[in-house]
Chain A
Amino acid sequence: MTRPHQALSRRTLLKGAGAALALPWLEAMDPGTLRASEAPRPKRLGILFMPNGVREDQWTPTGTGREFKLSKTLTPLEPLKDELLIPTNLWNQASDYGDGHYVKTSGFLTCQTISKSLGFDLNSNGISMDQIAAAGIAGQTPLRSLELAIHPVSIGVDTNVGYTRVYGSHIAWSRPTRPLAREINPRLVYERLFRAAYPRPEKNQYQSLLLDRVLDDARQLKGRVGQADQSRIDDYLESVRSLEKRVEEASRSEGKTWKPLVDMDPGVKPSGIPREHAEHVRLMLDMIALAFQTDTTRVCTFMFGNAVGNTNFSFLEGVQGGHHSLSHHENKEENLVQYQRIAQWHVEQYAYLLSKLKAMKEGEGSVLDHSMILFGSGLRDGNKHSPRNLPLVLAGRAGNRIRTGQHLKFDRLTPLANLYRSMLEAFDTPMDRFADSDGLLPGVLA
């Protein structure tokens, strides 16, 4: 692959990053005035899902409001404390059924109960909040959303509990019956972002023609298959149509509505899937940062692991064994220590992404300032599998819409859906109703 804009000047770069930066004297101006005069920055929504829960006595910060002290597990976030909003006592009532993991994974962002199914009539019964956000801003970026993971879809069906493991491998649902496929290879993510950011019109010349043929075939088929199968053909039609739109947009010689905010550096292209888990995770987080920085997409979900994920964390000092096995700690201190260490490692990775976004200057602030990055798990304690008082951290101000720098302790059993509604509000894609939400979370929105 060649780099299309090899000789992109610093000047152009600065233009992309906001012309205001090019003028040193502006820096001395009152930040408030400046912000008002600046073009609004795109907002980004990222969600990092961790399987298997946390050691509960070492998660929740002490003290509430602005005066709080991070717990041991959250210490990696110390330098970013002002960027955080930590909500305590939220629960996902809809996932308090069924089994210990699948319901809590597929239902994490939908706040609905999945149907028990080995595949036939698979249904999450909801649309995940990231996809509601993505639908609200569809068309503003080349990629509607990005779904990333580390592990392939877990193999097989779980006959013990009667769920297909598809449920445990997906958090993003664009329709109740459609989980979104995830990309696990960082090289392919990079290439996809690159293709989206720099379409090659010369290559696309006849793509519209080609896609027209495909659309026509799909329409013919729709009349031929049974009622139940039409939705699959529809899914494909939709997929091809949105691609066609992109191709058309790319081949337009003028009036383009989208350009990458900053240039992509082919030097950071990953070579493939590293064997080491930690490196793999870092590369995927780099891709999220790149996608957000270039504005190739504004919505991204990432799964550190699938439900019941038994990733071996022996690479951490003092840890021996798989994540899921250790999450069944039986309240034995020797297990709890390791379980805590694994959760803390995940928080370190989260902190890495936040720092990276914070270091990416954008206008007066950073990409992080214009983002909302949620970290969380679908259950609190791996030994109990309870979706009460979920471990969650939100970071980034979403363009001054989120009041960060606080630990908010809500009434017990406050719906998680209230947090999601608040986030959607901050993202400018509000929903009057979402699952079991009964309002916005007080104190979150600025």
Chain B
Amino acid sequence: MRLREQSLNATETITAERAQLITRFYSSREAQGLSAPVLRARTFEYLLRNKAICINEGELIVGERGPAPKATPTYPEISLHSIQDLEILDSREKVYFKVSDEVKKIYSEEIIPYWKGRSNRDRIMERMTPEWLAAYKAGIFTEFQEQRAPGHTVLGYKMFRTGFLDLKKEIAAAAAALDFRNDPQAYERGEELKAMDIACDAIIMYAGRHAEKIESMASEEKDPARKAELKKMAAVCRRVPAHAPETFHEMLQHYWFIHLGVVTELNPWDSFNPGRLDQHLWPVYKKEVEGGTLSPDSAYELLGCFWVKFNNHPSPPKMGVTAQESNTYTDFCLINLGGVKPDGTDAVNPMSYILLDVIQDMRILQPSSMVQVSRKNPDSFVHKALDIIKTGFGQPSVFNTEAIIQELLRQGKSIIDARNGGASGCVETGAFGTECYWLTGYFNLVKILEVTLNNGFDPRTGVQVGPKTGDPSTFSTFEEFMLAYREQVSYFADVKIRGNNVIEKTFAIHLPVPFLSLLLEDCIANGKDYNAGGARYNTTYIQGVGLGSITDILTSIRFNIYERKRFTWNEMLSALKNNFEGAEQMQYDMIYNTPKYGNDDDYADAQAVSVFEFFHDAVSGKPTPRGGIHRINMLPTTSHVYFGNVTGATPDGRKAWVPLSEGISPFQGVDRQGPTAVIKSASKIDHLRTGGTLLNQKFSPEFFEDEGSYQKLTALIRSYFSLDGHHIQFNVVNAETLRDAQKHPELYRDLIVRVAGYSDYFNDLGEDLQNEIIRRTEHQDF
């Protein structure tokens, strides 16, 4: 708990350590003339050899990405911060990073002169077409790989049972098997394997540096209890990650070194993730507790120390659009609990409950947590999760194991790989330890509608961004209008996919990740990098945003223009242009007297299904250069706020620049029939053809307090899941609390709310997002 306080009180800062080391290495003689994978491996090795070793007071699990907790490195090879960027990071009110004069000096003297024009961001922007750039600037889509590397991947079973010395043997075997006579790619494979081998040595060396430092601390330590702890910690760092972990302590430290390796090599999205932690830890915990080598209390203390490690690592600093689409310190490490075992049986074990206790007691932002609920899991497991959810902390979120497995099977995974999978990030389905799944950007379904209303023109940027699909007033039927919208969706999906395929190549060629590749099967066997298609499965996602809003908009057009003929196209378009100034009666009818998504009303929900199908068909199945397939997700993080900010008034009565609906949830306040109707509406789209959907349901705390309420909520969850719903999360807060928090932020430093697919400190949210959460909280008494 002391470590927890330390972590909560630490300030987020920028450290120039990594940027400086990488710049020195890239400009050294040593770095010249190497193949890309070997260059990246040598860079990795150089970083781990030279970065400061930080051991915090009282901790049992060691290792920091920067020289101190929350000291956050930068990744100039991905995206270079200007001095002005650093000043913005330093001075912005929310999600800030303090930047010292020393850091700015290093940046202006060493980092910027070397990297200017040479970061991958520069490379990407230079290669994008004018069409892509116009759409990007208009806010039609975002680009994930613009400031961060591809990640979204999770450690599987294998690496919890494998040491890096074992991997070195695998690498040697793969290298020996290279066929230089028949395999035209043998050279590339050889270089990749060489790089992987260097990365193995590097991480072992890095653990050794920790052991040395701890040993020297132990020799000076006066307190005999701490001295004993330090000696044990040093012994652990001598064993893992070189060898497969054998004890509970080793297991956690082993993972943590791996985590640090991944987030030091590059800045992948969603940091990294131990995945099915209850499955990995339970056997060794049981063995040790039964054998008397571990007490439950000391295991619990180790878990607390482990948890704090995640919280010490804010998401790398984001700028501009990237900051807006994911405006949070959270780095989306999502611990999975429950689900099923590889043989398909109930996977809930005592460790699942212990970890839920840890989540409840720690009550910190990171790591995020979720429960996988299979029909095979007992209700008591769900009830335990509800115990934590009801405190309004927004964790854990609740996932449907059967849906996840079916989604994975549909994508061609084996049944075992599917059962070993889960969700990472916000809600993204993945086969853990075997799949490389990139998210590439949010896709603004509402903005595309606005562009359709304007015959391909974007009123905000004043640019013809899309094809001329016709002046809406010339469409005599709703179906004709829908064809035009569909054409625009397909056009922008094509622009995005073309961009994705170029960007994917830039990573494969210039930024291989030999360390991350060690962790994902079958990169070693294939002699291929994670970023080049080495993993067993490869998927690329585009995330649709604003399903609730677009449904209400299309329903309003169908109902008010074509069926009720309440107003004409010209009346509506001019009202939208004037942001409903002087057309309040029309806005009122759109809001109050038009069918809405989220009420189990087939009239409205039909449009949700159509849009889902358009979007799915425009994206799903398109190939990617690394041998993957494009697929869709429906999740927003905070992009629904950004996308709202670039989208004018819309025919659902929404005023210009107001946030869109999030995930597949209804627009705020329009669901008037309670949670069963929301669930019914949300399950009309086919979740199983996505890689994840996000449904946010707000409840006042009273729903959790009555006797029998847990059974009813559990039934509600199980009902949704029987309809193939992918995920549901509960926000349990009252508006009064939130308003008070706005007035007295200092009293609510630990107030965590569910945003969308993740939780965040209320204080760290922008005022508009805070207001939105208050508004949606007020609507919970349907």
Q: Do A and B bind each other?
A: no
Name A's B-contacting residues (CB within 8 A): none
Name B's A-contacting residues (CB within 8 A): none
